Amino acid sequence: MSTIDYSQKIPNNVDLKSDKRLQRALEAWLPDYINWWREMGPTDFNENDVYLRTAVSVDRDGWANFDYVKMPDYRWGIFLTPTEPGGKIGFGDHMGEDVWQSVPGEYRNWLRRLIVTQGDTEPASVEQQRLLGLTAPSLYDMRNLFQVNVEEGRHLWAMVYLLHSSFGKDGREEAAELLERRSGNADHPRILTTFNEPCHDWLSFFCFTMFTDRDGKYQLLSLAESGFEPLARTTRFMLTEEAHHMFVGQTGIARVVRRTCEAMNENPDKTAEEMGVIPLETIQRYINYWASSSLDLFGAEVSSNSANFFGAGIKGRAYEQKNYDEHTALDQGYQLDRWSDGSITTEEVPLRNAMNEVLRDEYIKENEKGIDYWNRECEKAGNDFRFTYPNRRFNRKVGEWSGGFFHPNTGEPMTKEAYEAAALDWLPSQKEADYVKSLMVQVTAPGKFANWIAPPLRGINGQDVDFEYVKL
């Protein structure tokens, strides 16, 4: 069903009340989740009313309602898009077979691994961003932060539902573990490295929502093709919510660029630091850092796991049915650059083994459009500076390029000495990070914005920019 039942303790559109055992298990998990939120979420704002959207349907149009709510009272729930009658698996070795309603035994471990890894990213990002409300540059931005946070919490619920409903005791244990790991904790960290990185300032937050959340989009797109229909239906609705997160990142960076360009035009004899705005070169270095870190999230360029997942029909390519004519990926190759013995070579690898790279290709293309978007801000301001997207080999910690040193613009190999000598031109220094952090001062008057960021072009849900998005 498309309408969500809010009369139950856990809002849902999966008729949860008809499965008492599952309902009791999830209701038992709920207090642990609320405790986690109160401990690791944006704790200083738990008692404030925030203008948030809440899903009321999974239809494409009119799916959300906007109103004030205290975040711990947000109605997190379980929302799946409608099932498609006669659905068939669309790729891999099982192409053309009926989609699965329950987990195939032979793929149980693979599916559980995919769901746990996706689920772990959701609370991790909330933990990374938990203190940013204290330095929000406006009520508009504070509200957007909290919207992202509650929806990441909602996405955790989506994965926990799958673990509880399809994986029995193992799934319940994994769901409990999702609330026990902590971002950046040396003893019990989150699964993926990027989700253990500190996110102390709003420039990092905007880069995170631009690049890291966009990785999330592409992972969800590939899972939305899954032959395990409950996973596909779950991730399809998550994608509806995820779009706002990337909007926050792309427009957030654009507003920082716009404000810096305005200040430079108004005071051409002063430096950005003298004017209290963020230098365009600093923004580029933050882009380099977060973009390269997010590229690691796709995994190794050559991967037996990606081949297995595709062959099994549990994780496809983004827009599998829309963008590709052939869906088995057998007897096909992918031309891939390799790094070996200090030199770059090109070889053809089986296409299935290159599925991580196929997904990364599409992700990079979309990010480059975001770079163009920011460059138009410079063009409109008459500023000659142009942002660039770093080469995929630059600053990598996972995969083919993690063992070498590469130029961020050309991707050409460098000696360690030459790379380290130039690194401060390409990645944020501690001094630079300290300067950015020094600008992070909370602004709470409706319609007012910190000096380092321009106002948005319009408000949320038709509201004015000076609307009281958070009642403090």
Query: Do the beta carbons of residue 380 and residue 386 sit within 8 Å?
Result: no
In this predicted structure, what is the pLDDT of residue 60?
Answer: 74
Q: Provide, rounded to the nearest whole percent, the portion of the chain with pLDDT above 70.
A: 100
pLDDT at residue 38 tops 70: yes
pLDDT at residue 44 tops 90: yes
User: What are the phi and psi torsion angles at 53 (to 5°)?
Assistant: -95, 145
Structural domains of the chain in order of their starting residue, each with its CATH number: 16-471 (1.10.620.20)
In this predicted structure, what is the pLDDT of residue 467?
Answer: 98
**Tens digits of per-residue pLDDT, 260-292?**
999 999 999 999 999 999 999 999 999 999 999
pLDDT at residue 215 tops 90: yes
Which amino acid makes up residue 433?
A
Angle at 78 between CA 77 and CA 80, to 5 degrees: 145
Mean pLDDT of 296-316: 98
pLDDT at residue 183 tops 80: yes
Helix extents (H) in 209-349 = 213-223, 229-266, 272-275, 280-295, 304-312, 320-323
pLDDT at residue 256 tops 90: yes
In this predicted structure, what is the pLDDT of residue 59?
Answer: 81
**DSSP state for residue 106 in the 8-state scheme:** G
In this predicted structure, what is the pLDDT of residue 2?
Answer: 64
Query: Do the beta carbons of residue 103 and residue 231 sit within 8 Å?
Result: no
In this predicted structure, what is the pLDDT of residue 471?
Answer: 98
Write out the two tokens for 35: 């405790």
Q: Return the bridge partners of 268, or none.
A: none
Question: What span, in angstroms and rounded, lies between the C-alpha atoms of 283 and 256?
Answer: 9
If pLDDT is split at 50, 70 and 90, which confidence band does 445 have?
Answer: very high
pTM of the model: 0.97
**Tens digits of per-residue pLDDT, 460-471?**
999 999 999 999
**Tens digits of per-residue pLDDT, 344-368?**
999 999 999 999 999 999 999 999 9
**Distance in angstroms between the alpha carbons of the first and the last residue of the chain:** 38
User: What are the phi and psi torsion angles at 444 (to 5°)?
Assistant: -120, -5
In this predicted structure, what is the pLDDT of residue 437?
Answer: 98
Question: What span, in angstroms and rounded, lies between the C-alpha atoms of 447 and 441?
Answer: 15
pLDDT at residue 1 tops 60: no
pLDDT at residue 43 tops 90: no
pLDDT at residue 6 tops 70: yes
Rg, Å, the chain Cα set: 23
In this predicted structure, what is the pLDDT of residue 341?
Answer: 87
Question: What span, in angstroms and rounded, lies between the C-alpha atoms of 318 and 324?
Answer: 10
Structural element, H or E, at residue 52? strand 49-55
In this predicted structure, what is the pLDDT of residue 472?
Answer: 97
Q: Is 68 helix (H, G, I), strand (E, B) or coil?
A: strand
**Tens digits of per-residue pLDDT, 122-175?**
999 999 999 999 999 999 999 999 999 999 999 999 999 999 999 999 999 999
If pLDDT is split at 50, 70 and 90, which confidence band does 219 have?
Answer: very high
User: What are the phi and psi torsion angles at 347 (to 5°)?
Assistant: -145, 160
Query: How many beta carbons lie within 10 A of that of residue 21, not counting itself?
Result: 9
If pLDDT is split at 50, 70 and 90, which confidence band does 414 have?
Answer: very high
Tell me the pLDDT of the chain averaged across its residues.
97
